[in-house]
Amino acid sequence: MINTKDILETIRMIQDENLDIRTITMGISLLDCCDSDIGRACNKIYDKITAYAKNLVKTGEDIEKEYGIPIINKRIAVTPIAMVLAACEKKDPVRFAITLEKAAQACGVNFVGGYSALVHKGFSPGDRELIESIPEALSVTDHVCSSVNVGSTKSGINMDAVALMGQIIRKTAELTADRDCIGCAKLVVFCNAPEDNPFMAGAFHGAGEPDCVINVGVSGPGVVRAALAKAGDCDLTQVADIIKKTAFKITRMGQLVAREASRRLGVPFGIVDLSLAPTPAVGDSVAHILEEMGLECCGAHGTTAALALLNDAVKKGGVMASSHVGGLSGAFIPVTEDAGMIEAARKGCLSIEKLEAMTAVCSVGLDMINIPGDTPAEVIAAIIADEAAIGMVNSKTTAVRLIPAIGKKVGEELSFGGLLGGGPVMPLNTWSPARFIARGGRIPAPMQSLKN
Amino acid sequence: MRAVVTVIGKDTVGILAKVSAACAKYNNNILEVTQSILQDLFVMIMMIDISNCTIPFTEFADEMAALGEEMGLQVRAMHEDIFNSMHRI
């Protein structure tokens, strides 16, 4: 028989420490849905998604019940729509967004990602039209998520795309200003975007992926924090060991769920994403792990070092627990989705500059940050450029998901509800980067040797 | 196929009887039982064979949760693989 202590540990993790599987994401290729007639392309997309994903939610719920582990979201990621749009004679991309929305509702999934364009080296047919349609697409849909890749280590940063995304983010916020600018919570700008990421808003199904695939994202910051709390005042070598062991256990659960979902749906298993994904719920915070390590408040000096340790240990523990690891894999630091980060931002301890430094050592980037509503597009673009530069130079994924709080100032709050949470508008450096952004062009790809 | 039934809560008369009866009702053979008191809480763990369960296991898990609510306890039925995968390499 399995050890009683082990059984109770698992139950405690699920019941008291918010252990869950954050998402089962089905990746579906839409390359075979390309058609010169946009109406026909939309029909093919709807039919393919609803055929492939019709049992996704039910299967997720069955696994949830059978194994007793909550599976919070069931999602779909599709081929970047700009690729499908390229074949259409009439470029009206919002019709694709509406089709994705209908398909998401028909399947009962929480989100569908892939209203995306990959423009790190330049715009191909359809890319610009798709990007320009993002504000409207996100304002007329609820479940569709959008992402744009503007840079990569191999190709540099497309600064024309960066400048454009500054405007697009502002416009998206303006069009959804009546709903706390929620459109921007569904829009992320990447450098080095992964093709198999199961997490939103940045999930899309890359061109190198199979026709259909199951990717799973785990969670569990509360479990890590509880394990550290139990250990008391041990040194940081031991802290890293505890995190590794805990991450191993969390990931094994993800692997089990991924394998089961893949078997039951008859779809190949892709990857388990090892990310520690927080939620606004108390006891499910990455910031609180850093505070458990000994920081008075997340954002204090020492935060970057603590996060680097955490991020690395999560990967080391998780890698052995899963046969295939991918996606973003690391600790997430979405401000409005993390109770500890929200608190730290309210206190003024956590600044955007500190968050930028943190993104150099952790999973994603400047994520879910509310910024003043009067922030000019070029400042948003410059934030994207800074963040993309960190990703490009360090050969890692970085991303920006900022929410300009239209009509609001520093200290006022936005509330999105659910997993997206809410939080205060954070102050920005207001000196102008306008001339730099207006130059456009490309930042060349960086040296990969002589690293210093 | 095996599952683990856990019962956690305040000790009262008839817990074992009621949980065993529910297992028997759906033709689940009890393989092993351990019980103990942990910090004033009654903890019982049962390993059951669900190969011949007369209803889908998801429904059995719902039945056990409902039984727990009735008795003011937490009763969970979970497939054993969740524990095996987490605690065994």
The answer, for B65 touching chain A at a CB cutoff of 8 Å, is: no
Does residue A263 sit in the same domain as residue A137? no
8 Å CB contact of B47 and A1: yes
Q: Which of B85, B88, B89 to mutate to test the interface with A (most CBs of A within 10 A)?
A: B85
Angle at CA of residue A216, ends A399 and A423, nearest 5°:
45
The answer, for B38 touching chain A at a CB cutoff of 8 Å, is: yes
Among B4, B38, B85, the residue with its CB nearest the CB of A255 is B85
Strand, coil or helix: what is A276? strand
Question: ipTM of the predicted structure?
Answer: 0.91
Count of domains observed in chain A:
2
CA–CA dist A188, A147 (Å, integer):
5
Which residue shows structure tokens 């942990």? B38
Beta-carbon count within 10 A of A418 CB: 12
Does residue A175 sit in the same domain as residue A255? no
Cβ burial, residue B52 (10 Å; 0-12/13-18/19+): exposed
**Residue A401 contacts residue A188 (beta carbons within 8 Å):** yes
8 Å CB contact of A8 and B38: yes
CA–CA dist A163, A381 (Å, integer):
5
Does residue A411 sit in the same domain as residue A282? yes
Among A9, A10, A65, the residue with its CB nearest the CB of B58 is A65
Does residue A143 sit in the same domain as residue A232? no
8 Å CB contact of A253 and B85: yes
Domain end point (choices A191, A211, A245): A191
Strand, coil or helix: what is A24? strand
User: First vs last Cα of chain B: how many Å apart?
Assistant: 19
Beta bridge partners, A401, equal A367
The answer, for B70 touching chain A at a CB cutoff of 8 Å, is: no
Residue A319 belongs to what H/E stretch? Answer: helix A303-321
Does residue A241 sit in the same domain as residue A114? no
Which CATH superfamily groups domain B2-87? Answer: ACT domain (3.30.70.260)
Among A15, A62, A68, the residue with its CB nearest the CB of B82 is A68
Among B34, B74, B82, the residue with its CB nearest the CB of A10 is B82
> Any long-range contacts for A40-47 (C-beta under 8 Å, 24+ apart)?
A41/A84, A41/A87, A41/A88, A41/A96, A42/A95, A42/A96, A42/A99, A45/A78, A45/A84, A45/A96, A45/A99, A45/A100, A45/A103, A46/A99, A46/A102, A46/A103, A46/A106
- Where do the domains of chain B lie? 2-87
- A81 is written with which tokens? 């729509």
Q: What is the DSSP code (8-state) at residue A334?
A: B
In this structure, the strands spanning A422-424 and A111-118 are unpaired
Strand, coil or helix: what is A217? strand
Cβ-based contacts of B78 with chain A (< 8 Å): 66-68
Q: Give pLDDT < 70 ranges for chain A.
A: 1
Strand, coil or helix: what is B54? coil
8 Å CB contact of A253 and B83: no
- A423 is written with which tokens? 């939080």
Q: Find the chain A residues whose C-beta atoms sit closer than 8 A to any C-beta of B.
A: 1-4, 6-11, 15, 62, 65-69, 249, 252-253, 255-256
The answer, for B32 touching chain A at a CB cutoff of 8 Å, is: yes
CA distances from A257 to A199, A206, A268 (A): 16, 22, 13
Q: What is the DSSP code (8-state) at residue A364?
A: S
Q: What DSSP string describes A257-308?
A: HHHHHHHHHT--EEEEE--B---SSTT--HHHHHHHTT-SSTTSTTHHHHHH
Which residue shows structure tokens 């890293």? A240
CA–CA dist A59, B35 (Å, integer):
33
A98 within domain boundaries? yes
User: First vs last Cα of chain A: how many Å apart?
Assistant: 53
Which residue shows structure tokens 């990857």? A271
Angle, helices A127-140 vs A159-175, to 10°: value is 20
The answer, for B50 touching chain A at a CB cutoff of 8 Å, is: no
Domain end point (choices A174, A191, A208): A191
Which residue shows structure tokens 């994924």? A397
| B53 band by pLDDT with thresholds 50, 70 and 90 | very high
The radius of gyration computed from the CA coordinates of chain A, to the nearest angstrom, equals 21
- Which pLDDT belongs to residue A254? 93
- B7 is written with which tokens? 């019962």
Q: Count of alpha carbons within 13 Å of B50, Cβ hemisphere only? A: 21
Comparing CA positions, the residue from A126, A136, A190 lying closest to residue A158 is A190
Angle at CA of residue A158, ends A155 and A161, nearest 5°:
145
Comparing CA positions, the residue from A202, A240, A246 lying closest to residue A220 is A246
- Which pLDDT belongs to residue B88? 86
Does residue A230 sit in the same domain as residue A340? yes
- Which pLDDT belongs to residue A1? 65
A231 within domain boundaries? yes
The radius of gyration computed from the CA coordinates of chain B, to the nearest angstrom, equals 13
Does residue A162 sit in the same domain as residue A237? no
What pTM, to 2 d.p., does this model score?
0.93
> Which of left, alpha, beta for A126 (phi over 0: left; psi -120 to 50: alpha)?
left
Q: Which domain holds residue A337?
A: 219-443
Does residue A371 sit in the same domain as residue A227? yes
Among B6, B32, B87, the residue with its CB nearest the CB of A11 is B6
- B24 is written with which tokens? 């028997």
Does residue A310 sit in the same domain as residue A252? yes
Comparing CA positions, the residue from A169, A190, A179 lying closest to residue A140 is A179
Number of H helices, E strands in chain A: 15, 14
8 Å CB contact of A6 and B86: yes
Q: What is the CATH number of the domain that holds A155?
A: 3.20.70.20
CA distances from B56 to A66, A72, A238, B52, B83 (A): 10, 22, 44, 10, 20
Does residue A303 sit in the same domain as residue A158? no
Q: How far is B72 from chain A (nearest CA, A)?
A: 16
Does residue A414 sit in the same domain as residue A307? yes
User: Average pLDDT for residues B20-25, to the nearest whole number?
Assistant: 95
Q: What is the DSSP code (8-state) at residue A202?
A: S
The answer, for B30 touching chain A at a CB cutoff of 8 Å, is: no
Does residue A186 sit in the same domain as residue A229? no
- A323 is written with which tokens? 């046969």
